[in-house]
């Protein structure tokens, strides 16, 4: 079985299989929207390959990170504005 | 600030099949080779690493490249192009990558087209859904409709099913007569035919509808249902996900920003290359999907051709590679012929459908403009984080602003970057970039 890492998504602890992306951590944490659009609509991963920027979240205090392009790391802290 | 500088004889951008083949071929000539990718793992999209699955061919290929002395730089995003060097960003900050020869293996992205409700969480690309599943996004029990155009839909449905999703149907926009002509010609490429038959058999129990498409996604804060057209019928299906992709668009932005000539004889332009994979710039080569979507086989061959040529000159290219590359390209052209009609009409878009997801700009907001530049300045369409990659391809496909070049000038940064990266000294002078 693959090892797992622990991350926090909007303060809630989640266990995620090592090698997964932050997008996977969001889904496992039950987060539907990664961010709000300029008009306030909920948005979630669309392209899955780093092009659309719909999955932007704050990771360890640094904003505008693509959840689909970032692998989870033990102790990582992820914040959405969804 | 003195950001780190790396010097390479051959710098390869993108570690999919083309980039990996290019780096290994170049390194075989003993020169200094750098291989850069924005992702954490090699493979690009076609050899994407899947959590909990056996390694892809990319893992072994990268290991061999590293063992031979290739400098691998993962999670490194190219931000801007300067003379003989690129400005990049990784987790530690800005980086300057200098090269004698550059190989662009930037691949392709998915063609995503707007329809009412396409911004709802749960609506993804078809390849996008596949990528997310491989990243570990749970699929078990999800009811997903796969839709769009082309053979990628079958692969996406197969991946989703393997991860436990319930694929409620596949909507292929291409009508049956075109699909039959495609199937009838398949035996000319026996390897491809065997793959197609195996895939179709695995999906034998999955509903597959041709001449059908998504009209709208519905839901409050996430997708709950999808309305489709199936022939002349309209149906509404309850679902948890809609995975829609209409094919692939070459990633030409870096080439464009370098000043490489484009081949504009296609709806979505390609990087123009000669038989040695050289672009219009003497020190810049391109290989794989950036030169026109051709699939993994042509990407591997073109990557190797570019790697040999960039490291040791045209005479170093093994003769056998070229014939195989032409054959692989012929398959791609034939595929495009059947799935991409010369003109397409897209009914599934309303005036209040958002075209630009970054800046929330609707179709009707754009319709008053005839010049894309005016539209962009007035509405901010295309000025958001994706830098027009999603809406630009959609606008081209929808035929808006006809008569204007589909590929306006590209300005840096190529991707959103941190301020301290952009502040890194990058002053072009007569002698090249200087600190």
Name the burial class of residue B202, with classes exposed (0-12), middle (13-18) and buried (19+) by CB atoms within 10 angstroms of its CB.
middle
> Which positions in chain B touch A44 (Cβ < 8 Å)?
121-122, 222
Residue-range domain boundaries for chain B: 5-109+249-338, 114-245, 354-398
Place of tokens 């998915």: B110
Buried-state track A18-51, b at ≥16 Cβ within 10 A, e below 16: ebbbbbbbbbbbebbbbbebeeebbbbbbbbbbb
Q: Which of residues 40-99 of B touch A (CB under 8 A)?
A: 40, 45, 49, 51-52, 75
Work out the minimum CA distance from A68 to partner chain B, whole angstroms: 7
Alpha-carbon span B218 to B331, nearest angstrom: 38
Closest CB to A53 among B135, B138, B385: B385
Q: How far apart are the first and last CA of chain A?
A: 32
The residue behind tokens 């959609």 is B394
- pLDDT more than 70, % of chain A: 96
Total beta-carbon pairs less than 8 A apart between chain A and chain B: 117
Q: Return d(Cα B418, Cα B112) in angstroms, integer.
A: 27
The CA distance from A55 to the nearest CA of chain B, in Å, is: 10
Residue B435, pLDDT score: 39
Task: Give B190: exposed, middle or buried? Use CB within 10 Å, 0-12, 13-18, 19+.
Answer: exposed
Residues 6 or more apart whose Cβ sits within 8 Å of residue B311? B9, B10, B25, B26, B27, B28, B29, B31, B33, B101
Q: Is B7 in a helix, a strand, or coil?
A: strand
Q: Residue B216: helix, strand or coil by DSSP?
A: strand
Residue B224 DSSP one-character state:
-
Query: B430 Cβ partners below 8 Å, 6+ apart?
Result: none
Is residue B379 less than 8 Å (CB to CB) from chain A?
Answer: no
Encoded tokens for B21: 């083949």
CATH 3.50.50.60 assigned to domain B114-245? The reply is yes
Give me the residue from B49, B121, B136 closest to A44, CB to CB: B121
Token pair recorded at residue B71:
């400098």
Q: Taking CB atoms and an 8 Å limit, are A69 and B38 in contact across chains?
A: yes
How many beta carbons lie within 10 A of that of residue B73, not counting itself?
17
What number does CATH give the domain B5-109+249-338?
3.50.50.60
Residues from chain A that touch B122, judged by Cβ atoms under 8 A, are: 44
Cβ neighbours, 10 Å, residue B135: 28
Is the distance from CB of B156 to CB of B127 less than 8 angstroms?
Answer: yes
User: Best residue in A48, A53, A57, A73 to probe B by mutation, most B CBs within 10 Å?
Assistant: A48
Q: Which residue of chain A comes nearest to B386, CA vs CA?
A: A52
Report the distance separating Cα A79 and Cα A12, nearest Å: 10
Q: A23: which chain B residues are within 8 Å (Cβ-Cβ)?
A: 132, 135, 137
Contacts of B136 in chain A (CB under 8 A): 16-17, 19-21, 24
Is B353 part of the contact surface with chain A (CB cutoff 8 Å)?
Answer: no
In this chain, the answer to whether the domains covering B5-109+249-338 and B114-245 adopt an identical fold is: yes
Give the strand order in the sheet containing B208-209: B123-124, B241-245, B143-148, B166-172, B208-209
Its pTM stands at 0.94
Please answer yes or no on whether B132 and A45 come within 8 Å at the CB atom: yes
Provide the pLDDT for residue B434.
Answer: 41
Residues B106-134, buried b or exposed e (16+ Cβ, 10 A)? bbbbbbbbbbbbbbbbbbbbbbbbbbbbb
CA–CA dist B87, B89 (Å, integer): 7
Chain A interface, mutation test: which of B45, B76, B131, B137, most A Cβ atoms within 10 Å?
B137
Closest alpha carbon within chain A to B131: A48
On whether the CB atoms of residues B38 and B130 are closer than 8 A, the answer is no
CB-closest option in A20, A47, A68 to B109: A47
Q: Vertex B190, ends B187 and B195: CA angle to 5°?
A: 105
**Mutate which: A42, A51, A68, vs B, most B CBs within 10 A:** A51
Enumerate residues 111 to 130 of chain B having a beta carbon within 8 A of any beta carbon in chain A: 112, 119-125, 127-130
Contact yes or no for B166/B140 (Cβ under 8 A): no
Which residue in B132, B148, B393 has the most chain A C-beta atoms within 10 A of its own C-beta, making it the best mutation to test that interface? B132
Q: How far is B255 from chain A (nearest CA, A)?
A: 16
ipTM over 0.85: yes
- Do B110 and A38 count as a contact with CB atoms less than 8 A apart? no
Helical segments of A1-82, H only: 22-28
Query: Where is B363: in which H helix or E strand?
Result: helix B363-367
What is the tens place of the pLDDT at every residue in A48-77?
999 999 999 999 999 999 999 999 999 999
- Residues of chain B with Cβ-Cβ distance to A70 below 8 Å are 40
Tokens describing residue B193: 């035919």
Cβ contact, residue pair A44, B51, below 8 Å: no
* Per-domain residue ranges of chain A: 4-73
Walk along chain B (435 residues) in steps of 10 and give the mean pLDDT of each run: 86 98 98 98 95 94 97 97 93 94 97 96 98 98 96 94 97 85 77 79 88 96 97 96 96 96 91 97 97 93 98 95 90 78 72 94 91 90 92 89 71 87 61 42
Peptide bond into A64 cis (omega under 30): no
Contact between chains at B137 and A45 (C-beta distance less than 8 A): yes
Q: Residue B202 to residues B154, B162, B185: CA-CA distances in angstroms?
A: 10, 10, 21
User: Rounded to whole angstroms, how far apart are CA atoms B13 and B34?
Assistant: 8
Place of tokens 């053979």: B151
A4-73 has CATH 2.60.120 classification: no
Could you tell me which of B416, B419, B420, B408 has the C-alpha nearest to residue B385? B416
B78, B36 in Cβ contact below 8 A? yes
* Mutant choice from A26, A40, A47, A58 vs B, greatest count of B C-beta within 10 A: A47
**Distance (Å, rounded) from C-alpha B204 to C-alpha B202?**
6
Radius of gyration, alpha carbons of chain B: 22
């Amino acid at each position: 079985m693959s090892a797992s890492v622990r991350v926090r998504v909007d303060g809630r602890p989640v266990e995620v299989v090592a090698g997964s992306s932050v997008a996977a951590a969001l889904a496992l944490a039950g987060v539907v929207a990664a961010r709000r659009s300029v008009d306030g609509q909920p948005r979630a991963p669309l392209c899955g390959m780093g092009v659309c920027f719909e999955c932007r979240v704050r990771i360890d205090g640094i904003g505008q990170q693509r959840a689909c392009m970032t692998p989870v790391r033990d102790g990582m802290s992820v914040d959405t504005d969804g | 600030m003195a950001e780190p500088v790396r010097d390479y004889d051959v710098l390869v951008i993108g570690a999919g099949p083309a980039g990996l083949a290019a780096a290994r071929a170049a390194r075989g000539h003993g020169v200094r080779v750098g291989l850069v990718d924005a992702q954490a793992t090699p493979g690009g999209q076609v050899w994407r690493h899947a959590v909990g699955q056996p390694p892809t061919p990319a893992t072994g290929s990268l290991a061999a490249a590293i063992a031979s002395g290739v400098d691998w730089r993962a999670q490194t995003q190219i931000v801007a192009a300067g003379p003989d060097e690129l400005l990049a960003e990784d987790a530690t900050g800005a980086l300057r990558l200098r090269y004698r020869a550059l190989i662009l293996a930037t691949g392709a992205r998915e063609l995503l087209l707007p329809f009412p409700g396409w911004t709802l969480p749960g609506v993804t690309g078809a390849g996008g859904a596949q990528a997310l599943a491989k990243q570990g996004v749970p699929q078990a029990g999800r009811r997903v409709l796969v839709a769009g155009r082309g053979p990628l839909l079958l692969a996406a449905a197969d991946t989703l099913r393997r991860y436990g999703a319930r694929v409620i149907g596949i909507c292929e926009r291409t009508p049956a007569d075109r699909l039959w002509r495609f199937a009838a010609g398949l035996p000319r490429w026996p390897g491809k035919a065997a793959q197609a038959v195996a895939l179709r058999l695995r999906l034998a129990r999955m509903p597959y509808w041709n001449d059908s498409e998504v009209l709208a996604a519905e839901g409050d804060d996430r997708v709950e249902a999808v309305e489709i057209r199936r022939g002349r019928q309209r149906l509404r299906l309850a679902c948890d996900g809609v995975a829609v992709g209409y094919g692939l668009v070459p990633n030409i932005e870096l080439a464009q920003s370098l000043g490489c000539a484009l081949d504009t004889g296609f709806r979505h332009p390609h990087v123009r290359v000669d038989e040695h994979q050289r672009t219009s710039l003497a020190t810049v080569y391109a290989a794989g999907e950036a030169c026109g979507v051709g699939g993994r086989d042509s990407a591997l061959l073109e990557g190797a051709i570019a790697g040999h040529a960039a490291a040791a000159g045209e005479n170093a290219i093994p003769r056998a590679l070229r014939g195989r590359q032409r054959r692989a390209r012929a398959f791609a052209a034939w595929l495009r012929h059947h799935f991409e009609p010369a003109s397409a009409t897209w009914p599934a878009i309303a005036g209040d459908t958002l075209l630009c997801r970054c800046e929330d700009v609707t179709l009707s907001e754009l319709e008053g403009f005839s010049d894309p530049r005016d539209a962009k300045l007035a509405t901010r369409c295309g000025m958001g984080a994706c830098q027009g990659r999603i809406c630009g391809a959609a606008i081209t496909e929808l035929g808006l602003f006809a008569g204007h070049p589909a590929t306006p000038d590209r300005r840096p940064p190529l991707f959103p970057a941190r301020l301290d990266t952009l502040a890194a000294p990058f002053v072009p002078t007569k002698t090249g970039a200087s600190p």
